[in-house]
Structure 1
Amino acid sequence: MQDHGYGEHEATFGDRLTAAREGAGLAVADLAGRLGVRAETLKGWESDQAEPRAVFLGRLAGMLGVPLVWLLTGEGQGPHEGAGIRQSARAELRDLRRVLEEAAQRIERLEGVLADD
């Protein structure tokens, strides 16, 4: 991970988000695409010009392989070089499984509604 020139206590949410994304080996466009937001939105978060909604915080932490508490406060273990990519892949896989499960439940519900016709 690069040295961003700030101490642990001086880092902002945007600084930690950038460090975690870089530690995971992801470009802004890659992470934005995985989250379903525009690259400009993610850049706004990283530059502390905007804050993500709560729904994105857990997904960000999972995709980047960092604890949510660290991402929000800087307390605890941050990203580790090399490990971030595998952790990111695991988190993305968990996220995809969750999405597929939700889709399967919606399909079953809709099939039930249509079966009543």
Structure 2
Amino acid sequence: MAVVTSIHNRLPDSDTFGGRLSRIRDAQGMTTAALARRVGVRQKTIEQWESDRSEPSVERLSLLAGILNVNLVWLLHGVGDAPADEIGPDPLAAITVQLERLKRMHEDTGRIIDRIQREVTRLEEER
């Protein structure tokens, strides 16, 4: 008797949409700028999608899945066929890319904190 495997027998990818998007983009060696050009959006838009601060439209989701050659349902929900080799042949390179992504996110967070602090200071001075 053959064993049938369905997407429901596998655990879904527990990462967020942005995490999956970032992982597959990194695994394919594509920069956020390159992906933005191919999708027709600003680089900042890709960065916001990857950090789960916004989500693409249905049309852009379909375009992303096609450009990145991944299953749309996996990209969106983490269910179904995941890319066979997300890390790629060089784990050190993949980890380095993720580290750079974290550094950029850290810098973005610092800028946001600075902006909020300036606004708080300004409001306190107006009292």
TM-score tier, shorter chain, comes to 0.5 to 0.7
2:34 to 30, 48, 54: 30
Which runs of no fewer than 5 residues in structure 1 stay unpaired?
1-6, 85-117
Question: What does residue 17 of structure 1 align with?
Answer: 21
Preserved contact between residue 13 and residue 79 of structure 2 (Cα < 8 Å)? no
Show CA shifts across 1:36-71 (max 9, x none): 100000000000000001110111001001000100
| Corresponding position: 1:52 with 2:73 | no
* TM-score (norm. length: structure 1): 0.60
Q: Which runs of 4+ in 1 moved over 2 A?
A: 7-10, 79-82
Q: Secondary structure at the match of 2:45?
A: helix
In the TM superposition, residue 20 of structure 1 has moved relative to its aligned partner by 1.2
Preserved contact between residue 24 and residue 68 of structure 2 (Cα < 8 Å)? yes
Identity of aligned residues (%): 47
Question: What does residue 72 of structure 1 align with?
Answer: 76
* TM-score (norm. length: structure 2): 0.55
Question: What does residue 87 of structure 1 align with?
Answer: none
Show CA shifts across 1:66-101 (max 9, x none): 00010011012222348x9xxxxxxxxxxxxxxxxx
Structure with higher Rg: it is 2
C-alpha separation in 2, matches of 1:72 and 1:9: 10
In the TM superposition, residue 25 of structure 1 has moved relative to its aligned partner by 1.5
User: May I ask how many residue pairs the two structures share in their alignment?
Assistant: 77
Question: What does residue 39 of structure 1 align with?
Answer: 43
**RMSD (CA atoms):** 2.1
In the TM superposition, residue 11 of structure 1 has moved relative to its aligned partner by 0.6
Which runs of no fewer than 5 residues in structure 2 stay unpaired?
1-10, 89-127
